[in-house]
Structure 1
Amino acid sequence: MQRRQFVSLACRGTALAAVPFLHGPARAQDAPGVTARAVTIACSAPLSGPLVGFGTDIQQGAGAAIAHANARGGVQGRSVQLQILDDGYEPERTLANVRQVIGQGSALALLSCVGTPNNTAIAPLLEEAGMPHLGPITGAASLRKPSRNVFHVRASYTDEVLRLIDRLTGMGLKGLAIAYLDNGYGRELLEVGTGALGALGRKPVAQVAVATDGSNLAKALAELAAARPSAVLLATAGTVSVELVRGIKTQLPGVLMAGVSVTLPGASLPQLGDAASGIALTMVVPNPHSSKLQLVRDYQAAMRAQGHTEFSQGSLEAYLNARVLLEGLERAGKEPTQAKLRAGLASIRNLDLGGFVVDYGQPPYVGSRYIELGVLGNTGRFIG
């Protein structure tokens, strides 16, 4: 009954991982990654480690959007190349990757670097170098400071958590516990969640830290079981979320679970199987399996053209981010520079990508406030 109520109220592979630079060095110091025939975009993402699913989503979703653009002649006569560097979700590796890209002048911009602590680590470097970064995969409010270089697409984690708290408390649920990833991302969501509950004169029955590698999972599950909550807010991400959900299903049968958009990346859902059923999640992009919107139809067609038949929120977000970046490159003109790309992105107003609108005003640049709520069925797809 709770699941039904929640719905009714809510209304190509690793080949992209190392793109060789076949076209020689950049032609001008202010246009790194640009040659007569190609423009290279870089991304630091986990192709290994606990958040590997995010790297896969970027490879597939952004790769599909870029492949589609290249098949139509590229942008302003140049093909677009995507260079993905593995960081294993380790901030120091993200920092090293971005330093390498900037030092070598191998890319014009960054696309969808993953993680709150990772993006925190590279923020000063981007400001110093003046490198544009489109669509970082984080909704952290701490990273939404005025910047000439960073262009967010997704809505914030704050908005996601507030929407979930509002829905859960609106359903009359008592005894809400928060399980959070023990890093900057999880602690920020914990602060938002406890603050929202505090404003209602309530507090969590448990605040349980979960190690990013899952090494304390048994202890975390024991703490949750002892608190006997009626609902658990999952401020986690990556593979650890899978085992956490399984453990909660076993030790707290019937408890409602709700998470943010990054809690369960698409690659993790097949691992959960029936255990995914009933989990409520925020969605910062439309349902990737629904063909009602032109954006989703375009995404599905681009994915299928690259041989991908599994769709997910993560790969749709990466596809969407790449589409926005491609629009910025188009607006940058025939001789793109980082300054021209920044100006091109900043000029985007009410860009309708087929039922999803992106609009940039003054910094901090946040293109979308889109949030919906959905509940997973036992196939790992949203129902209702």
Structure 2
Amino acid sequence: MKKNSLAATPTPFAAVQRRQLLRGMAAAAGLASICAAPLRHAAAQARPADAGVMRMTQLLDMSPDQQQLSRDYATGIRLAFAELKKSNMAVPLLSTVETDGSAAAARSALQAIRDDPAQVAILGTAGEGLALASLTESAQLKLDIAHVAPWLADPQMDHNPRLFALFASREEQIRYVLKTLSVVGVTELGLVYPSQQHADTLQAGMAVIASRLQLKTRSLVIPKGQDIAGYAAKLPASAPFFLMFMGGAIELALFTQGLGQKKMQRYVLCLSDVDSNTFMQLNPGKSVPVIFTDVVPNPHTSKLAVVRNYRSALQRLFDEAPTPVSLAGYLAGRYAAAVLAGAGPGATRARVLAEFQRRRPLELDGWHLAFNPQGRASSFVSQTMLNTRGNFVG
């Protein structure tokens, strides 16, 4: 289990993100009654009174481009557990393992989980590369455990019987965007990967999606060591009119800065990995239209009871602004707790996996989850556009 040291000098954006992260994690530490120590210490610190208590682990990618997403998702899950704890509902102990997002870090964490029989599920792995790596490494380690609600839009693992993906896939998000853009006719989509690592992780899944959608795509991979804004400022005139950015908020802000300098008219699409509020704090390029998708209701305005509960608890316990990702984490925590209640106290790892594999429909204060044949519990997608005047529409 490696912790990312973040020893390298951060970019200004990464420094802001890290300060926000540390504030959020400090708040989360106040919920010590529901959070175990890091996994490598869990066995040593277990007390006799803990015998039979179920434990779960959340794996987080704390690399600079993923730490804000990981932090928000973890905040939402802890928020859900805190609310349940207040209602005297028995909830599992939750450990958090911070990693650098690599397959090696995932393997190390999973080996420790495998060797601790009290660990009954992996909950809310974030970000996406780490989620994919954890599923791959689990198969190689023959770790028969439930992977519950990872932050995972890529559908390539949806067939995995140990994966319980809650939110709309990347394909469903792209279908939604293309439907809304059908009046202008999208003939080609440029896929912008901020690094070769992003491309290696996501290209296979995107190729399958493009084939199913009968969509022509062109991959644009930003070379290692090249400035993202500089790359965007030198895009050739032949670049597709619609560009789907496959990275996080920091890289996207830099990319739009470059497009703004070039004054090239292009639409930039980004999926649920990017929170529009966070993006706007990072000095994005002016006059670049950006389309955002979200896989949960609007965390600020939705009148669903579960979203109202989330907003109230978030303000009370963390004093933070709502975000789509932390709302998704809250829904993930509520879902996991509801299924685990059906497994019964002190359930084994195998019993917990069997309970999740029932894939029963659930209703969480107005939010409905029902697994579809593709293996996703929700296909909800919404869209917001930041227009050329800097206003949000939709």
Unaligned runs of 5+ in 1: 1-11, 28-33
CA contact (8 A) 2:61 2:101 kept: yes
1:60 equivalent among 72, 75, 84:
75
> Which one-letter code corresponds to 1:366 in the other structure?
R
1:13 partnered with 2:24: yes
Cα distance in 2 between the residues matched to 1:59 and 1:293: 22
CA-CA distance at 1:144 after TM superposition: 1.1
1:306 corresponds, among 312, 317, 320, to 317
Cα distance change, pair 253–153 in 1 and its aligned pair in 2 (3 A): same
1:335 deviates by 2.5
1:25-47 per-residue CA deviation (whole Å, 9 max, x = no partner) reads 498xxxxxx93485332111123
Superposition map of 1:216-295 within 5 A: 216-218=227-229, 220-222=231-233, 224-227=235-238, 229-264=240-275, 267-272=278-283, 278-295=289-306
Residues in 2 aligned to 1:293 and 1:25: alpha-carbon distance in whole angstroms: 39
Q: Tell me how many residue pairs correspond in the alignment.
A: 357
Distance 1:354 1:171 in 2: 38
Structure 1 residue 151 displacement after superposition: 0.8
Distance 2:286 2:365 in 1: 33
Q: Distance in 1 between matches of 2:226 and 2:329?
A: 29
| Alpha-carbon separation, structure 1, partners of 2:300 and 2:237 | 38
Q: Which amino acid aligns with 1:51?
A: Q
> Which residue matches 1:171?
184
Distance 2:315 2:366 in 1: 20
1:100-150 CA-to-partner distances (Å, cap 9, x unmatched) read 232344632111112443233222443422111101111212111231x21
SS of equivalent residue, structure 1 residue 19: coil
Give distance in 2, aligned partners of 1:252 and 1:354: 46
Segment drifting more, 282-291 vs 263-272? 263-272
Question: Which residue, 376, 382, 389 being the options, matches 1:372?
Answer: 382
Counterparts of 1:305 and 1:379, CA distance in 2: 35
- Aligned counterparts of 1:319 and 1:381: Cα–Cα separation in 2: 28
- 2:355 is paired with a residue whose SS is helix
Show structure 2 runs of 5+ residues with no match: 1-22, 30-34
CA distance 1:295–1:376, shift in 2 (3 Å): farther
Superposed, 1:137-156 pairs within 5 Å as: 137-147=151-161, 149-156=162-169
Determine if contact 2:253/2:284 at 8 Å carries over to the other structure: no
Distance change in 2, residues 1:277/1:220 (3 Å): closer
SS of residue matched to 2:181: helix
Bigger shift: residues 251-260 or 298-307: 251-260
Query: Offset of 1:323 from its aligned partner?
Result: 0.8
CA contact (8 A) 1:70 1:80 kept: no
Q: Aligned runs of 1:1-384 on 2, under 5 Å? A: 13-15=24-26, 16=28, 19-20=36-37, 21=42, 24-25=45-46, 35-36=50-51, 38-75=53-90, 79-105=91-117, 107-127=119-139, 128-147=142-161, 149-172=162-185, 176-181=189-194, 182=196, 183=198, 184-188=200-204, 190-192=206-208, 194-195=210-211, 199=214, 203-204=216-217, 207-210=219-222, 215-218=226-229, 220-222=231-233, 224-227=235-238, 229-264=240-275, 267-272=278-283, 278-360=289-371, 365-376=375-386, 383-384=393-394
Contact conserved, 1:158 with 1:192, CA < 8 A, in 2?
Answer: no
CA displacement, residues 269-314 of structure 1 (integer Å, 9 cap, x when unaligned)? 4224685984212221111111321221121122112123311111
Deviations 1:336-357 (A, max 9, x none): 2222222332334331223321
- The answer to whether the Cα contact below 8 Å between 2:189 and 2:242 also exists between their aligned partners in 1 is yes
Contact preservation (8 Å) 1:53, 1:268: no
Flag as ranges the 4+ runs of structure 1 deviating above 6 A. Answer: 377-381
| 58-67 or 92-101, larger mean C-alpha shift | 92-101
Aligned to 2:130, the other structure's residue is in SS state helix
Amino acid in structure 2 at the alignment position of 1:129: L
Q: Quick one: structure 1 residues 377 and 219, their matched pair in 2 at CA, closer, same or farther if it must change by over 3 Å?
A: closer
Q: Secondary structure at the match of 1:311?
A: coil
1:242 deviates by: 2.3
